[in-house]
Structure 1
Amino acid sequence: MPELVKLAWLPNLSSGLPRRARQGCIYEAYVPDRLVGRSFSLSGETAADVADAERAIERLNRQATGLADSEGVARLLLRAEAVASSKIEGLEVGGRRLLKAQLARGLGDDPSDITATEVLNNIEAMRWAVESLTTAAAITVEDLCGIHQRLLAGTRIEQYGGQLRDEQNWIGGSSYDPCSAAFVPPPHERVSELLEDLCAFCNDEALPPVAQAALAHAQFETIHPFIDGNGRTGRALIHVILRRRGLAPFVVPPVSLTLATWSQDYINGLTATRYRGAPTGEEARDGIDGWIALFAAATTRAVDDAEAYERRVAEVQKDWREALGRVRANSATDRLLNELPGAPVITVRSAAALIGRSVQAVNEAMPGLVKAGVLKQTTVGKRNRAFEAMDLINAFTELERQLASPNGSTRHSPPERRVPHRPA
């Protein structure tokens, strides 16, 4: 059974806090049940939702070949993790700005865009997690700390990266104390053992992958093991599990961005998993069943939107080839048309490295691509000449807007959070 640990909050009387914040209180910290060894029973409807979500992910990975190696989609998924995080939900970075910041970083420019830097850290953390942990023998607590360390690299709280918290944290209420918090995670002394149990659960294969990812994410958010960055790290864990289980070998749908759009349902779903009483009780069963159903539905919606984006990318590439006329197979132009969806902002040198051709060959291809409207010249960093594929960036922006709308269209259903402006 879960525990409610009663603890006393003793304020720092010399810290200059308001009088109300210097009074202290008795608060309750929630310690969840362990996951390993438990039996989870899904209702017939939820089991069907999970099966639908897994078929959708398999279809996306089988059919969406245009997305399989797309760095652009990877950036979308990672930006989704950043936006959905409770701590940085207010960070707004449009697709074009983020792509240019990433290219500038690759060129060695000192990053001046702090907001973009934090989002780019999400990209690095997710890439490392998926590439390193997919083939690892097991997910460990050290691996979770490794994701978190990359997430906070170069930020104002870098010193906390990869470090399990050594103090109490809380969600909601006052910034000064947990006395009025909406939720208080376990005391820091319990974090390590709970994470060990969570990792053991993630390494098991008894549950369907979508149900396992849903439960692992909820448990991670309940433990809240870090000072900051828990939302982003917990969402990275979703991607790792779906990839490790073989369900999503190429593309993981942007499920966390959909959950951020359904923000109140998302919060309510996580809260419902923090039941009181026996794990076999009605409250526990209903809470876990409802959360898994919501997660599965969000996954299916995310797949639908990702497939729509893949179709739009294919249309853009078709329009490019029609505008260019005959393109010689395997030429620099041909290769760039295939690779631009993964790198919509390029320099001549980055393009040469991307397609395995000489700088001269790329230089010769650029005028034709610019004339046909495939690329537009711009500047990245301090003085670096670059080129951007605005059709792709606009498609990326439209997808962000679509994912922010509860009904899938900001024309008919207002977005639930701030989104980039509609492309002209």
Structure 2
Amino acid sequence: MMHGLERLKEMPLSLRLIREMHERLLQSGRGGAKSPGEFRRSQNWIGGTRPGNALFVPPPTTELDTCLDALERFMHEDESRLPALIKAGLLHVQFETIHPFLDGNGRIGRLLVTLYLCVNGVLRKPLLYLSLYLKTHRNDYYRLLQEVREQGAWVAWLDFFLAGIADTANQAFDAATRIVDLFKEDRERITAESDRAGSALRVHDLFQQNPFLTANQLVERTGPSAPTVNAVLSDLERLGAVEEITGRRRGRVFNYSRYLAILSEGTEPLSSPTMGVTA
């Protein structure tokens, strides 16, 4: 997502950018051997063991260029005057139905929603992720996608999609509020209970920016000596603000565990129907 937003300073939202994001995504995730950054050159399917018994078969490769061209044109058209939220919902179905990659279509399709809303000024920061909502309601999600494909049931899909946007936005607001409250609570405890409050607050500030840090990194970034930083980390451990996660004496890594707990809510992998790929 951040790569895509950075590249938008130089290029428009496009198929080229989607391929770049896909290549980057598969560098460190599952599917690394399935043509990162390249649109598929073979038939894929969703559900079942072969196209003949699949739940859904995306367009054949002979139609892929035409479908992708229509997707890119729809991203940029303004004659319909559709609100950006509605278009984001339509684009997601269009992308998932084309299923242009051998792997990673679901992840890119969810990123595309957030990216599109950022491009069109609905979001100032990429703080809305639909993954948790779609995972929680996965049966409805897959059913509604299929009903659009088979019956043209766009209204039911958009009702579901917009409810997900509202639910996710409310969750993001709640998480942000809890993070602000957590930072305030820990700062107050550090100020009241730490013998090295000044240094401890500087360290606490760094953990807000990066919830995983080593003692050496903290020495480099805050200025105090290594013994002082180690004493501060002991204070923060005692106060429950940070936690050492390696169990080693050297090369220790600390994390801001309660902050991470809020950030990590709902980030378990989103499972999907079995997909096959023919040679």
- Structure 1 CA distance, aligned partners of 2:165 and 2:219? 36
Aligned length: 264
* TM superposition shift of 1:339: 4.5
- Structure 2 CA distance, aligned partners of 1:190 and 1:359? 63
Q: Is the 8 A contact 1:129 1:236 kept in 2?
A: no
- Structure 1 CA distance, aligned partners of 2:248 and 2:166? 38
Q: What do the CA deviations read for 1:23-48 (whole angstroms, capped 9, x no partner)?
A: xxxxxxxxxxxxxxxxxxxxxxxxxx
State yes or no: 1:194 paired with 2:60.
no
State yes or no: 1:290 paired with 2:165.
no
With 212-221 and 308-317 compared, the bigger mean Cα shift is at 308-317
RMSD over aligned CA atoms reads 3.1
Runs ≥4 in structure 1, deviation > 6 angstroms?
Answer: none
Which residue among 22, 26, 30 is the counterpart of 1:148?
A: 22
- Structure 1 CA distance, aligned partners of 2:65 and 2:250? 48
Which residue among 238, 258, 276 is the counterpart of 1:371?
A: 238
Residues 306-321 of structure 1 mapped to structure 2, 5 A cutoff: 306-321=172-187
1:323 aligns to what?
A: 189
More helix by share: 2
1:334 aligns to what?
A: 201
- Structure 1 CA distance, aligned partners of 2:91 and 2:31? 28
1:160 aligns to what SS in structure 2? coil
2:51 aligns to what?
A: 178
1:164 aligns to what?
A: 39
State yes or no: 1:357 paired with 2:232.
no
Residues 89-168 of structure 1 mapped to structure 2, 5 A cutoff: 126-133=1-8, 135-153=9-27, 157-158=32-33, 160-168=35-43
Q: Using structure 2 for the length normalisation, give the TM-score.
A: 0.82
Residue type of the alignment partner of 1:306: A
Q: Is the 8 A contact 2:186 2:241 kept in 1?
A: yes
1:150 aligns to what SS in structure 2? helix
**Gap runs ≥5 in structure 2:** 272-279
Residue type of the alignment partner of 1:183: F
Residue type of the alignment partner of 1:289: V
* TM superposition shift of 1:382: 11
* TM superposition shift of 1:207: 2.0
1:34 aligns to what?
A: none
Q: What do the CA deviations read for 1:311-345 (whole angstroms, capped 9, x no partner)?
A: 22223223212322259xx9553344344344322
State yes or no: 1:230 paired with 2:105.
yes
- Structure 1 CA distance, aligned partners of 2:145 and 2:262? 32
State yes or no: 1:203 paired with 2:76.
yes
**Gap runs ≥5 in structure 1:** 1-125, 276-282, 405-415, 418-424
Q: Using structure 1 for the length normalisation, give the TM-score.
A: 0.56
1:139 aligns to what SS in structure 2? coil
* TM superposition shift of 1:362: 4.9
Residue type of the alignment partner of 2:116: I
- Structure 1 CA distance, aligned partners of 2:74 and 2:218? 42
2:274 aligns to what?
A: none
Q: Is the 8 A contact 2:88 2:117 kept in 1?
A: yes
With over 3 angstroms needed to count, the CA separation of the structure-2 counterparts of 1:272 and 1:343, relative to structure 1, is same
Residue type of the alignment partner of 1:242: L
- Structure 1 CA distance, aligned partners of 2:65 and 2:121? 28
